[in-house]
A and B are shown apart, each in its own frame.
Chain A
């Protein structure tokens, strides 16, 4: 397929724009200088501007950033409707990529599209909201060598999932068995014997976001940990990783055992009822956010029989290899030599020959720097097992060798890496045990693509690698490891002696260079192993350790609202990205000087969050994976806080937590608050679920062609799905309650059904075809809204699954929601928002202190412009490289 090219200069790329009024493409390059005389005042205009002017069209769309350019404003403009629709299209594209990359993925990826906030709501928020003082960043006092506690707490506090869930009233002392006892016993002036870590963490997060900027003393957390884990008690310096694991463990206990159901009854479950295994994943925050599944594959060298073993994990502990696993230096060296022979032969770039050599020498003499990818490649390398240790079950060759390889079967939303910097070498006596710190510098990437390390990629690669080897006859990688070759993208073919792909070692995307070099490059783009958007992670926290093993000091860097901060106990300062990644150390390491790598733990969060909806439905057993989730309270990672739809009378209804906003076609805004009526009890909820299940069964009978919903909702959208079956947003239960509560009269219109836009899971062939009328439902709704017509279908506007970029939350104090009609009610909300993931998973308790949900609004943010600038600058950077072609591009 030919790439779209500019109609004026016939070059592809370079900020291509598409005219929105005709089918013309044009780029941003300016007109040739010699045409200046023929032009008017603005002589050098980008081609797209020229086109717009000459054809009198108004708008153009930038390909890369999906920004709309307006001719009159001569700048990019932001429109809420267009942006929402484009975002939805982007989400659909992401979902398609995920499905194509992992067709056997057991987790359904559900996409819902729609606008986030109606304009009336935004207006309401603006009028009634007060900007809260910057919260969320507080130092932590050092209570005596407790820097390990500070860093772990900071890392957790800035974890978007943890913070969002906790602030959404995920766990509250009133629903905690221990917490309530503590309160009661406080009244009785008794000592609370046990403590709940979840309550402590919640209290800590509340304190973080209270707006108070003074350092916080995490006394409660420390005391609770000592009570619960006696082995970690004491004033000595502890290991941050160990502490984090202990914290997560006690948090898990606190969330599962101590949590009470809404009616005040005890869950009664002991620890065994909530144990986590990869077949029955625990639905608590800890495991939903952190738990993944590791796969260990053993391949018998004799018969090729592979056996898999799965283990749940909360984090990945990486050894630091001695040198980069990918021998990129070897590649560069051979490539340089080859380049020089080529240039010496007098090929076209004779006058650049010296330049080439000079440039090539830039990378010579530089020491390779370890990166996280090297550590991951080392972790997932294929290592041969000792002979005799493995007895193959198929071919029975017990003396044969086998190859073991680790990979990640399921990636958690939050990925935690620990670099094993502490080597314990036993001495003759226990007291002589030495522990040495591995000081090697490891560079952490800001974005990590975990696709090459997943089990799916490994399986795909081994197939293609086998095919390649057969085809090319001789394809080796520098390390001889199958996975490393795909990771580094280095497949050196010695077939012709001329086929070198000098892909640098930092390439995260697995690139399989086929035989024949560039001729087959075109095939690579459709390679399903290329890159799975569901495996992209971005860094949000780093824990550093400085100094010696026992007397060192921990500091943490974390990203808060897009800005990096350094947390050194009580001192919080804005930090530069250079310090976060330790780039100064990297420069020294490159030059071969001694550099102390400080990064100890790194926290990554998925950039595109796909999640599992917890729709109560028939739980079909599945062989592996976390398909079947028991109908527990909706999982925390559900979507969105708002849910908008058009009611029958043509008015906008939006539900967000406790608030329901209605906007009638005349533009009046009415806000209702869901009250504590009978609908909020557990019995009502159970009844709702029953109704829901009955309706679902009726549904299935009606629509036979649709497959029964497995635990994930995969059905394509139709009109008749009762809104109870809507599971895309988390407050489905709240809606149920609302129906039974004060908003009973609208039960009918809700039942008329919303159209759910659910994306098919590629595994189920029935569901890949989406009925026509709903494929563009959001687009239709968009036009309906714009043209103010009443849509014929009821259109669902459900919270979209947004790529998680920044962590901007809104905080609502429910006690202020008592009477929303009073205009001066102080709902303190922060008006900065960009994207949202978390939402209140459960009913906000009366008297809850802080409820967090996030709201998306399209606002003019210079940040977007800057991204374009980087893109532009990068593009121009690219043009500079093109100058090697002896000024092939002379449009600059």
Chain B
């Protein structure tokens, strides 16, 4: 089994998505991030970025803002939310593993 880690990985990913677990966890994460205020902080940062680029506002694309805000957003995710989501993912893996062991 360890030798075909590639296939296992893809199959796990496929199962992760098809079972709806990914969506569910995304929903949970979204809610958590929102209630922890992270969303508002990122929005604030985006507004700041827009203000900074006020001179070239016409040419400012969504992508540009995304690039600038991503490092800040990623680093400011609260640790406990990260940990909880990681736990959930791990739980899913170990739940799914016995079935793919065969």
A residues with CB within 8 A of B: 2-3, 12-13, 73-76, 332, 335-336, 338-339, 342, 347-348, 356, 359-360, 362-363, 366, 443, 445-447, 498-504, 506-509, 511, 517-519, 521-522, 524-525, 576-578, 581, 583, 590, 862-863, 865-870, 872-874, 876-878, 880-882, 884-886, 888
Contacts and interface: CB of A to CB of B under 8 A. Distances in A.
Interface string B49-79: 0100000000001110110011001100101
A348 B88 contact: no
Interface in B1-41: 1-2, 5, 8-10, 12-13, 15, 17-24, 26-37, 39-41
Given A870-B42, A870-B73, A888-B13, 17 more contacts: A348-B5, A356-B90, A360-B87, A445-B31, A446-B37, A447-B31, A502-B91, A518-B95, A576-B37, A578-B37, A578-B41, A865-B50, A866-B50, A869-B62, A873-B66, A874-B30, A876-B70
Contacts of B46: 862, 865-866, 869-870
Contacts of B2: 348
A518 B99 CA distance: 10
B49 to A, nearest CB: 9
Contacts of B12: 885
Given A359-B83, A363-B83, A500 B62 contact: no
Contact of A75 (B31, B62, B69): B62
Nearest to B65: A869
A445 B40 CA distance: 13
A881 B20 contact: no
Given A348-B8, A518-B21, A500 B43 contact: no
Q: How large is the interface on B (under 10, 10 to 19, 20 to 34, 35 or more residues)?
A: 35 or more
A531 to B, nearest CB: 9
A869 B71 CA distance: 12
**4 A-B pairs with the lowest CB-CB distances in the bound complex, closest first:** A866-B46, A873-B73, A75-B61, A577-B40
Nearest to A878: B26
Contacts of A884: 86, 89-90
A500 B95 contact: yes
A521 B19 contact: yes
24 contacts: A74-B61, A363-B87, A445-B35, A446-B40, A500-B91, A500-B95, A517-B96, A518-B95, A522-B18, A524-B20, A524-B24, A577-B37, A578-B41, A863-B43, A865-B62, A865-B65, A869-B42, A869-B65, A869-B73, A870-B43, A872-B66, A874-B29, A878-B22, A888-B9
A881 B29 CA distance: 11
B31 A506 contact: yes
A577 B32 contact: no
B25 to A, nearest CB: 8
Interface of B: 1-2, 5, 8-10, 12-13, 15, 17-24, 26-37, 39-43, 46-47, 50, 61-63, 65-66, 69-70, 73-74, 77, 79-80, 83-92, 94-99
- Of B5, B61, B87, most buried by chain A (CB within 10 Å of CB) is B87
A363 B80 contact: yes
B46 to A, nearest CB: 4
Contacts of A880: 74
B42 A347 contact: no
Given A446-B35, A518-B96, A866-B46, A502 B87 contact: yes
B31 A866 contact: no
Contact of A881 (B1, B39, B40, B89): B89
B85 A881 contact: yes
B93 to A, nearest CB: 8
A552 B64 CA distance: 48
B33 A3 contact: no
Contacts of A332: 87
B83 A885 contact: no
A723 B24 CA distance: 44
Contacts of B96: 517-518
Contact of B77 (A347, A445, A590, A877): A877
B94 to A, nearest CB: 5
Contacts of A342: 94
B43 A866 contact: yes
A812 to B, nearest CB: 29
Contacts of B83: 359-360, 362-363
Contacts of B1: 348
Contact of A870 (B9, B39, B80): B39
B38 to A, nearest CB: 8
Contacts of A882: 13
Contacts of A517: 95-96
Contacts of A348: 1-2, 5, 8, 97
Nearest to A373: B35
Nearest to B72: A873
A362 B47 contact: no
Nearest to A355: B86
Contacts of A867: 43
B35 A76 contact: no
A501 B95 CA distance: 9
Contacts of A872: 62, 66, 70
Given A502-B91, A583-B36, A886 B84 contact: no
B45 to A, nearest CB: 9
A757 to B, nearest CB: 30
Nearest to B85: A881
A2 B18 contact: yes
B69 A869 contact: yes
Contacts of B26: 13, 874, 878
Given A447-B31, A866-B65, A872-B70, A518 B47 contact: no
B36 to A, nearest CB: 7
A356 B95 CA distance: 15
Contacts of A335: 87, 91
Given A363-B83, A498-B98, A507-B28, A339 B42 contact: no
Contacts of A338: 94
A348 B96 CA distance: 13
Nearest to A504: B84
Contacts of B77: 877
B19 to A, nearest CB: 4
A443 B74 CA distance: 23
Contact of B91 (A75, A501, A578, A868): A501
